[in-house]
Amino acid sequence: MTVRDIVALAREWLGYESLRPGQEDAVRAVLDGRDTLAVLATGTGKTAIYQLAGLALGGVTVVVSPLVALQRDQLRALAKHPAGVEVAELNASDRAGGRVARELLTDGRPGFVLMSPEQLTHADVLELLAKSRPRLLAVDEAHLVSEWGEDFRPDYLRLAAAIQAMGRPPVLALTATAAPPVRKQIVHRLEMDDPAVVVGGFDRPNLNLAVFPFADDDTKNRRLLSHVRSSRGPGIVYVATHRHAEDLASDLNTAGVSAQAYHAGLSAKQRREVQDTFLAGDCRVVVATIAFGMGIDKPDIRWVSHAEVPGSIDAYYQEIGRAGRDGEPADIELFFRHADLGLNRFFASGGVTDEDLLAVASAIAEHRPANIADLTTATNLSAARVERALGRLTDARVVAIGHQFHLARRVDVDKAVAAASAVEHDRREVARSRVEMMSTYAEYGGCRREWLLSYFGEHYEGPCGNCDNDLAGRTAAPPEEEPFPIGSRVKHRTFGGGLVEHYDGTTMTVLFDRVGYKELRTAFMIHNQLLEAE
Cα–Cα distance measured from residue 137 to residue 64, given in angstroms and rounded to the nearest whole number: 8
On average, the pLDDT of the chain sits at 88
Q: For residue 131, is pLDDT > 90?
A: no
SS (H, E, C) 368-417: CCCCHHHHHHHHCCCHHHHHHHHHHHHHCCCEEECCCEEECCCCCHHHHH
Backbone phi, psi, residue 254, to 5°: -60, -35
Task: State in words which class domain 351-427 has.
Answer: mainly alpha
Which long-range contacts link 248-255 to residues 24+ away (Cβ below 8 Å)?
248/224, 248/287, 248/307, 249/285, 249/287, 251/225, 252/225, 252/228, 252/285, 252/287, 255/225, 255/229
Query: What integer pLDDT is reported at residue 97 of this predicted model?
Result: 56
The residue that leads in pLDDT, 314 or 261, is 261
* 207-346 and 3-199 share a CATH fold: yes
Cα end-to-end span (Å), the chain = 37
| Digit-coded pLDDT (tens) for 51-84 | 999 999 988 999 998 877 777 777 777 777 767 7
Query: What integer pLDDT is reported at residue 93 of this predicted model?
Result: 56
Asked if 239 contacts 311 with a C-beta cutoff of 8 angstroms, the reply is no
Per-residue pLDDT band at 276 (split at 50, 70, 90): very high
DSSP assignments along 152-194, one per residue: --GGGGGHHHHHHHTT---EEEEES---HHHHHHHHHHTT-SS
Backbone phi, psi, residue 62, to 5°: -95, 130
Look at residues 433, 434, 435, 459 and name the one whose alpha carbon lies nearest to residue 447: 459
The continuous run of DSSP H or E covering 499 comes out as strand 496-504
How far, in Å, are 118, 262, 271, 272, 274 from residue 267 at the CA level?
A: 20, 10, 6, 9, 11
Average of per-residue pLDDT across 137-148: 85
Cα–Cα distance measured from residue 363 to residue 102, given in angstroms and rounded to the nearest whole number: 34
Q: Which of 3-7, 260-264, 317-321 has the highest mean pLDDT?
A: 260-264
The continuous run of DSSP H or E covering 302 comes out as none
Q: For residue 155, is pLDDT > 90?
A: no
| Digit-coded pLDDT (tens) for 425-465 | 988 888 888 888 999 999 999 999 999 988 887 888 889 99
The residue that leads in pLDDT, 195 or 474, is 195
CATH 3.40.50.300 fits 3-199, yes or no: yes
Q: Which CATH number fits domain 477-534: 3.40.50, 3.20.20, 2.60.40, 2.30.30?
A: 2.30.30
Angle formed by the axes of helices 354-367 and 383-395, nearest 10°: 80
Angle formed by the axes of helices 46-57 and 3-14, nearest 10°: 110
| Digit-coded pLDDT (tens) for 523-534 | 999 888 899 998
Beta-bridge partner residues of 63:
114, 138
Average of per-residue pLDDT across 498-513: 89
How far, in Å, are 148, 203, 306, 463 from residue 315 at the CA level?
A: 9, 16, 11, 24
Cite the beta strand spans of 99-244 per DSSP E.
111-115, 136-139, 171-175, 196-199, 207-213, 235-238
Asked if 499 contacts 489 with a C-beta cutoff of 8 angstroms, the reply is yes
Asked if 284 contacts 236 with a C-beta cutoff of 8 angstroms, the reply is no
| Digit-coded pLDDT (tens) for 279-299 | 999 999 999 987 676 667 789
Query: What integer pLDDT is reported at residue 295 of this predicted model?
Result: 62
Per-residue pLDDT band at 311 (split at 50, 70, 90): confident
Q: For residue 518, is pLDDT > 60?
A: yes
The continuous run of DSSP H or E covering 330 comes out as strand 330-336
Residues 203-212, buried b or exposed e (16+ Cβ, 10 A)?
bbeebbbbbb
Among 31-35, 409-413, 513-517, name the one with the lowest average pLDDT: 513-517
How far, in Å, are 42, 47, 142, 267, 301 from residue 297 at the CA level?
A: 10, 14, 18, 21, 10
Query: What integer pLDDT is reported at residue 210 of this predicted model?
Result: 97
Measured torsion, CA atoms of residues 288, 290, 293, 295, in degrees rounded to the nearest 10: -150
Query: What integer pLDDT is reported at residue 172 of this predicted model?
Result: 97
The continuous run of DSSP H or E covering 308 comes out as none
Asked if 137 contacts 172 with a C-beta cutoff of 8 angstroms, the reply is yes
Look at residues 456, 369, 408, 431 and name the one whose alpha carbon lies nearest to residue 160: 408
Average of per-residue pLDDT across 200-224: 91
Backbone phi, psi, residue 89, to 5°: -110, 130
Beta-bridge partner residues of 521:
507
| Digit-coded pLDDT (tens) for 181-195 | 888 889 998 999 999
Domain covering 207-346, topology: Rossmann fold (3.40.50)
Look at residues 342, 316, 326 and name the one whose alpha carbon lies nearest to residue 209: 316
Cα–Cα distance measured from residue 68 to residue 116, given in angstroms and rounded to the nearest whole number: 6
User: What are the boundaries of each domain within the chain?
Assistant: 3-199, 207-346, 351-427, 477-534
Tell me the pTM: 0.79
